[in-house]
Amino acid sequence: MTLYLLRRLFLLAFVFLGLSLLAFSLAYLFPGDVLQNFTGLTTMSTEHAAELQAEYRLDSGYLQQYIAYLQRIFNGNWGLSFSSNQPVLHEIQLLLPATLELAAYALLMSFFIGIPLGILAAIKPEGIISRIISALAVAGFSIPVFWWALLLIMLFSLGLGWLPTAGRVGVLYEIPHVTGFMLLDILLSNSQHQSEALIDALRHLLLPTLVLATFPTTVMIRFTRDSMLDVWEQSYIKTARAKGLNRAQVLYRHGLRNALLPVIRQIGLQFSTLITLAMITEVIFSWPGLGRWLIDSIYQRNYPAIQAGLLVISTLVISVNMLTEILHTLFNPLARKR
Amino acid sequence: MNIYPGWLNLSICDKRWLTLLASSMLLCACQPQLPQTVRSGLVYCSEGSPESFNPQLVTSGTTIDAISQQLYDRLLDIDAQTGELQPGLAQSWHVSNNGLSYRFVLQDNVQFHQTEYFQPSRALSAEDVVFTFNRIMQTTHPFHYQGGGNYPFFQSVDWAGLVNSVTAADHRTVHFELSRPDSSFLSNLATDFAAILSSEYADQLLSNGQLSQIDSHPVGTGPFRFKEYQKDVLIRYYRHRNYWRELAKPEQLVFDIVPNNARRMAKLFTHECDVVAFPRVAELGLISQRPDVDIQESTSMNVGFWAFNTTKPPFDNVKVRQALALAINREAILQAVYFGHATAAHSILPPTSWAYNADLPTLPYDPEKARELLTEAGYAQGLSMDIWAMPVQRLYNPNALKMAEMMQADLARIGVRATVVSYEWNSFRRKLSAGEHDSVLIGWSADNADPDNFFRPLLSCSAADTGTNRANWCDQNFDRLISQALLTADQKQRRSYYMAAQQYVAEQMPLLSIAHSQRFQAISSDISGVAINPYGGIALATAAKDSQ
Amino acid sequence: MARFRLLPDEQLARSPLRELWREFARQHSAMAGLALFLLFVVLAVLSPLLAPHDPYLQNDALLLIAPSWSEAGLVQYPFGTDDLGRDLLSRMLIGARYSFGIALITVLGALLTGLVLGSLAGMSKGLKSSALNHVLDLALTIPSLLLAIIIVAILGPGLINTIWAIMLALLPQFVHSVRNAIAEQLNLDYVIAYRLDGASNWQVLTRVILPNIWERLTVTASMALSTAILDIAALGFLGLGAQAPTAEWGAIIADSLDLIYVAPVGVALPGLLIFTCVLSVNLVGDGLRNAMKKRRDN
């Protein structure tokens, strides 16, 4: 087990090395001046430029430059954004919680809706309920997320006027930025409108979460259903059936635990999907998160921001993936052998 | 009507989790009632982020709308109806006979904003005015190079060359000494750019070494004080409690930054916004059908144009410029882009200006002639060019990208292969000022009623240096005409100079004027008192929500 | 090699392909999906002939014509026109080329490249293969859209760059699937037997292994196709893919978003098309998978 953990950690370090190398080389791959791409300074005097050249080791070989780059990454000196002239790292710190908040709620939603529906669909695979669930799952799997979001906005915001279309909370509520997680910040704030703000924030959260959760929910339904049906084929279930338990009882007592084990692995995979879809969702709902920021940066050719954004997002995705895989292995000794 | 159960309004702390539960059930209830204090706030959905919080440093209408009228006052104001000058911070003013010396007497007891970062100890004094203008004029001034040292509007009217000195006679009297008479001087003082800053605040920043804060954490005398700014998200102002004129009606004013049109409209319909900047003209009919939204229309002095970078070949060739201008079907653009809510432009001056030259020939849409001219210029086989289309929506051009797409198709007919180029707004302006463009679709909104406000910032040599002259056109004949017009105060004489200048521009075609647009504002029907000045930004201090 | 007859009556044993088709055809949803899929293929190929108007022709006289089912509509423009007077029906039809046709080509490209790389990886052994495996595992955990966005971020926005980006982003799953399939096959008795007969690597690959894995590849390809369509549309919508005036469905939605109140058709229609397109591919893919499973069970 220790060996396994060590191997995973080694792989993680290796991956980070690769990612940082990629991020580093981006400064060269992007058009424009390398020094500008690294620092984010668009105007600098010649002396200042020379000073920075030396500091960034641009006069020495690539290896030294890369080492200097790594040092800067760990020191938190990630350069400035072309468009706002603010430190990129600072911007990411402000925006990341918004994305994580959205993704986390969507993940929860997809689990709470997807798993029960998947189980329901597995109980009678040829039944009418199962067919309806499967049909919904295929539909949800095929719908383009941006279009789905627009449809929901058209219906719930513009048609019925029930829900707001954009943002995290009504702009008239002044919520101080403490953790960056809106609900938490509202609870921490001492505003006299706390409860109203909370309701308002939840109303803002509902549509984006629903949109974002759609795709992972359908994946969860299909996954849980297939996993249940697979377990159903196992001999220990047949034994249980032979003992005289009915289908639902068997599923509950013997099937569920074994079928849901692989679901842990899904958390990681779903998380990466969520982060990607969150980019689109954020764009549509004007959600001030990392995804929207990265898309804007790509559009604006804001190279320091793209560089940092890619590094953060891919590191995040891969770390979460690796973590859930390790968790999965901890719970499931069979997986360790592989 | 109150749709929430009564206990929700009681002390909530211990019932927080109940609230959470209850709220999830109530999420789908209809429009919620806001609490009283929040309800008295006003949300203005604007089309973009401000570039700075100091109007001296900017030219864009978006920034001016967001900061000028809300945070600052000027020495003089312009009457929205008559276009005449009115007392602002200066309660009276006097001009010497030779037109070289101006004296202003300030209002008494005008208070600056009390904010988290600055507590003023004194009222407005002549020192503040001196500080404001010296920052612009004196290159040795400690604040001059804060924010880049560019004062585009003041540079375009050659402020440093015009004003010799600004001095305080006593704490309420300011003297301006000019190097030559300038008939547009007072009008320029009344523009939104000439906001008065606090010298006491500057001193505080100087002693703390936080010079850069002066433009990001503003202090002024206006009806609202600055609270917070999140780029691309919002600006939050609170009412200035010691305002010298009538207190602002909204307790809180939020600029919700929503660059996308459709989203801004959606926010109006869901009542997330009270006032929406620049609704799509295409949707005006639709909006007017709704009982809960009103449309406000006002004439505005502006022009949308297509400027050629005259320093770059082949656009230094007047024949090429004329050919390109003839190839554009402007009538179609007026229909498709402005949806008929604009007048075709024949000059850079709008027809409502007193200096407008009504005798200018109408430029026809003539691809045949355009081809001939191109052949004469030596481009029989056509040419390739870029059309830069601004990524943002502006009064003078509601959809530059679409316009560029149409022009692309028009130009293809005369063998010109055009590529549409667009960047994010900040990079766009940066690259534009660096002169990287072949041609650009942009425009100008007037800041005062003086025709000079169109000519000098847009086409003069000094503006070519500072970057507001997007054609980079520097022509001695033209410059002579417009500077002569300034030397005289006689309106008849001035008009003849401006007529000639318009004629000359029409011949030289450094830019193709496309349209003068109406300004529209969509307003939630429970809001009243939103004032739009045809010569500048929107003022929201008088806007009030009717209590339901 | 003399033929050895295992089954007494050859007529009883249908070919695996026909068996598959029989199972496939029994599923109504899969057949409906297949019909739709073929329809889209036809559209993508023939759209220039089918489009009643030039999809890029701007007509100043016919701006924002309502669809023909409304009072103000014209019969010549069934779905109306957009804000530049371009015929929406023609744009939708041509859009099939971009959104569906290009996705198809992209997947084929990724499939072929994946086949080559996967075969190379599958036939070789040792450290090289293990390292590749790790890298592939990792690449597979990153969603293709994220990979595509990363690649577009490097290459810059545009349709051609999108194609490369999506092709690269889809590649890992093909390499992975081919490699695993080959690794499985290599251990099977008949492959070993063929090898013992003296067959070379190349012969083993082309004569024995490929015919046995193509079905599985088809399923992978169908999943990749639905991903590719969605990704191309999403990138187009975000303004990173096809640029105006290209009539790509995602880009059309982004374009029409401004006019959603005046002309909701411009948003509704391309979205519906993307949806049906992806749905048809998914139905076919699901149908294939089910059919293969049933055939195995029988």
Identify which of C234, C257, C274 has the shortest CB distance to residue A280: C234
- Asked if C261 and B262 come within 8 Å (Cβ–Cβ), the reply is yes
Compute the distance between CA of residue B156 and CA of residue B504 in angstroms, rounded to an integer.
20
What's the pLDDT at C77?
82
Q: Which residues of A touch B233 (CB under 8 A)?
A: 167, 288
Phi, psi at residue B96, to the nearest 5°? -70, 165
User: In this complex, is the C-beta atom of B421 within 8 Å of any C-beta atom belonging to chain C?
Assistant: no
Residue that wins the pLDDT comparison between A59 and B105: B105
- Ranges A208-222, B8-22, B60-74, B324-338: which has the least confidence: B8-22
User: In this complex, is the C-beta atom of A199 within 8 Å of any C-beta atom belonging to chain B?
Assistant: yes
Q: Which residues of B touch C262 (CB under 8 A)?
A: 280, 282-283, 286
What's the pLDDT at C273?
92
Identify which of C84, C257, C262 has the shortest CB distance to residue B286: C262
Mean pLDDT of chain A: 84
Query: How far are the Cα atoms of B184, B395, B444, B449, B508 from residue B355, in angstroms, in the given order?
Result: 13, 22, 17, 10, 19
Domains of chain C, first to last: 19-297 (1.10.3720.10)
Provide the pLDDT confidence category of residue B417 given band limits of 50, 70 and 90. Answer: very high
Q: Is the dihedral of CA C195, C199, C205, C210 positive or negative?
A: negative
Residues contacting C53, CB < 8 A, separation 6+: C76, C77, C86, C87, C89, C90
Query: How far are the Cα atoms of A196, A236, A331, A338, B424 from residue A334, in angstroms, in the given order?
Result: 50, 16, 9, 8, 52
Q: Strands B383-389, B439-445: parallel, antiparallel or unpaired by DSSP?
A: parallel
User: In this complex, is the C-beta atom of B545 within 8 Å of any C-beta atom belonging to chain A?
Assistant: no
Smallest CA–CA distance, residue A12 to chain C, in Å, is 10
What's the pLDDT at C202?
84
- Asked if C258 and B399 come within 8 Å (Cβ–Cβ), the reply is yes
- Asked if C60 and B402 come within 8 Å (Cβ–Cβ), the reply is no
User: In this complex, is the C-beta atom of B412 within 8 Å of any C-beta atom belonging to chain C?
Assistant: no
What's the pLDDT at B292?
84
Smallest CA–CA distance, residue C238 to chain B, in Å, is 13
What's the pLDDT at B36?
56
Average pLDDT, consecutive stretches of 10 residues, N- to C-terminus, chain A (338 residues): 79 83 84 81 78 80 86 86 84 90 91 88 83 89 91 86 85 83 84 82 92 91 84 77 76 72 77 87 89 86 86 86 81 61
User: In this complex, is the C-beta atom of B331 within 8 Å of any C-beta atom belonging to chain C?
Assistant: yes
Kindly report the three-state secondary structure assignment for every residue of B310-373.
CCCCCCCCHHHHHHHHHCCCHHHHHHHCCCCCEEECCCCCCCCCCCCCCCCCCCCCCHHHHHHH
| pLDDT tens digit sequence for B373-404 | 999 988 888 889 999 998 888 888 888 988 99
| pLDDT tens digit sequence for B450-470 | 888 889 889 988 888 777 889
Task: Evaluate whether B220 touches B197 at the Cβ level (below 8 Å).
Answer: yes
| pLDDT tens digit sequence for B356-369 | 888 888 888 999 99
Identify which of C58, C244, C261 has the shortest CB distance to residue B401: C244
Q: Which residues of A touch C (CB under 8 A)?
A: 11, 15, 26, 29-30, 135, 138-139, 141-147, 150-151, 154, 268-269, 272-273, 275-277, 279-280, 283, 294-295, 298-299, 301, 306, 310, 313-314, 317-318, 321
Q: Which residues of B touch C264 (CB under 8 A)?
A: none
Compute the distance between CA of residue B272 and CA of residue A131 in angstroms, rounded to an integer.
41
Provide the pLDDT confidence category of residue B18 given band limits of 50, 70 and 90. Answer: very low
What's the pLDDT at C1?
46
User: In this complex, is the C-beta atom of B283 within 8 Å of any C-beta atom belonging to chain C?
Assistant: yes
Domains of chain B, first to last: 7-50+222-292+525-545 (3.40.190.10), 73-211 (3.90.76.10), 302-518 (3.10.105.10)
Q: Which residues of A touch B256 (CB under 8 A)?
A: 167, 171
Domains of chain A, first to last: 2-75 (no CATH), 90-143+213-337 (1.10.3720.10)
Which one of A33, A44, A86, A195 makes the best mutation probe of the B interface by having the most chain B beta carbons within 10 Å?
A195
Identify which of C56, C84, C245 has the shortest CB distance to residue B336: C84
Q: Which of residues 37-76 of B touch A (CB under 8 A)?
A: 37-38, 41, 43
User: In this complex, is the C-beta atom of B399 within 8 Å of any C-beta atom belonging to chain C?
Assistant: yes
Task: Evaluate whether B524 touches B347 at the Cβ level (below 8 Å).
Answer: no
Which among C262, C246, C280 has a CA at the least distance from the CA of C82?
A: C262
Q: Which residues of B touch A286 (CB under 8 A)?
A: 258, 263
- Asked if C261 and B401 come within 8 Å (Cβ–Cβ), the reply is no
What's the pLDDT at A336?
58
pLDDT at B15 over 90: no
**Tell me, what amino acid is at A300?**
Q
What's the pLDDT at C128?
64
Compute the distance between CA of residue C201 and CA of residue B358 in angstroms, rounded to an integer.
86
What's the pLDDT at B439?
93
- Asked if C253 and A301 come within 8 Å (Cβ–Cβ), the reply is no
Identify which of C141, C237, C279 has the shortest CB distance to residue A139: C279
Q: Which of residues 251-270 of B touch A (CB under 8 A)?
A: 252, 254, 256, 258, 263, 266-267, 269-270
Compute the distance between CA of residue B105 and CA of residue B126 in angstroms, rounded to an integer.
9
What's the pLDDT at C83?
76
Identify which of C244, C257, C262 has the shortest CB distance to residue B283: C262
- ipTM, 2 dp: 0.84
Provide the pLDDT confidence category of residue B30 given band limits of 50, 70 and 90. Answer: very low
- Residues of chain C scoring pLDDT < 70: 1-13, 125-130
Residues C25, C28, C32: CA angle, nearest 5 degrees: 95
What's the pLDDT at B354?
85
Smallest CA–CA distance, residue C126 to chain A, in Å, is 16
| pLDDT tens digit sequence for B221-234 | 999 999 999 888 88
Closest-CA residue of C relative to B261 is C258
- Asked if B406 and C244 come within 8 Å (Cβ–Cβ), the reply is no
Q: Is the dihedral of CA A119, A120, A121, A125 positive or negative?
A: positive
Kindly report the three-state secondary structure assignment for every residue of A205-273.
HHHHHHHHHHHHHHHHHHHHHHHHHHHHCCHHHHHHHHCCCCHHHHHHHHHHHHHHHHHHHHHHHHHHH
Q: Strands B173-178, B101-106: parallel, antiparallel or unpaired by DSSP?
A: antiparallel
- Ranges B423-432, B514-523, C213-222: which has the least confidence: B423-432
Average pLDDT over residues B526-532: 81
Q: Which residues of B touch A302 (CB under 8 A)?
A: 424, 427
Compute the distance between CA of residue B19 and CA of residue B8 in angstroms, rounded to an integer.
7
- Asked if A166 and B266 come within 8 Å (Cβ–Cβ), the reply is yes
What's the pLDDT at B32?
46
Average pLDDT over residues B83-104: 90
What's the pLDDT at B14?
39
Please report how many Cα atoms fall inside a 13 Å half-sphere around the Cα of residue B109, on the Cβ side. Answer: 3
Identify which of B260, B406, B420 has the shortest CB distance to residue C84: B406
